[in-house]
Amino acid sequence: MLKKTIKFKELGDDQGWLVSLEAERNIPFPVRRVYYIYGTRAGVRRGRHAHRKLRQVLVCITGTCTILLDDGRSREDVHLTGNTEGLILEPMIWHEMFDFSPGCVLMVLADDWYDEGDYIRDYQTFKDLCR
Ligand code: T46
């Protein structure tokens, strides 16, 4: 099973709800970067790469989307449906994000700064490195 998730505690009072993400507490690494993906057009498939070293946690803040995970041997689709669940994305997992609901905001916490050199954007190269 490739799916590894974290369940975040919902902190609520009579004002409404709140979720707190804390590096090295409920997020299993020091966080160096946060980015978010929104306005993805219907039918678009994002990602289509793996990372050599980067560790990430994906949280659907609003809406839903699906993430394909592929470790070079097996594949699994994970449907992210709520902002109290984080999907852990380890290095050397080919991933594709698709089926974004209208208005979906996908937030990503990463353990390093942006580095294009960490990306493997060719699937055959990824498969070869998995062997
Ligand atoms: C990932 C999945 C889940 C930057 O300049 N800085 C950044 O921090 C990021 C994340 C991207 N960019 C640039 C690189 C491209 O020119 O923004 C543009 C779009 O990035 P990309 O096509 O890689 O976006 P996605 O949605 O395919 O992938 C993103 C992350 O890049 C990737 O690390 O794991 O989300």
pLDDT at 123: 98
Pocket probe for ligand 1: among 32, 44, 49, the residue whose CB has the most ligand atoms within 8 Å is 49
Q: pLDDT over 90 for what percent of the chain?
A: 99
pTM for the full model?
0.97
18-61 pLDDT tens trace = 999 999 999 999 999 999 999 999 999 999 999 999 999 999 99
DSSP assignment letter at 63: S
CB 47 within 8 A of CB 100: no
Residues in Cβ contact with 90 at an 8 Å cutoff, skipping those fewer than 6 apart: 4, 55
pLDDT at 41: 95
Distance 39 CA to ligand 1 centre (A): 14
Q: How far apart are CA 103 and CA 77, in angstroms?
A: 21
- Give residue 86's pLDDT band: very low, low, confident or very high (50, 70, 90): very high
What average pLDDT does the structure give for the chain?
A: 97
Sheet hosting strand 46-51, strand order edge to edge: 75-80, 65-70, 94-98, 46-51, 119-120
User: Is 49 one of the catalytic residues?
Assistant: yes
Q: pLDDT over 70 for what percent of the chain?
A: 100
Tokens 């055959």 correspond to what residue?
124
Distance 74 CA to ligand 1 centre (A): 24
Ligand 1: lining residues by beta carbon, under 6 Å: 33, 35, 37, 46-47, 56, 108, 114
Domains of the chain: 5-130 (2.60.120.10)
C-alpha separations of 18 from 6, 45, 67 in Å: 16, 30, 25
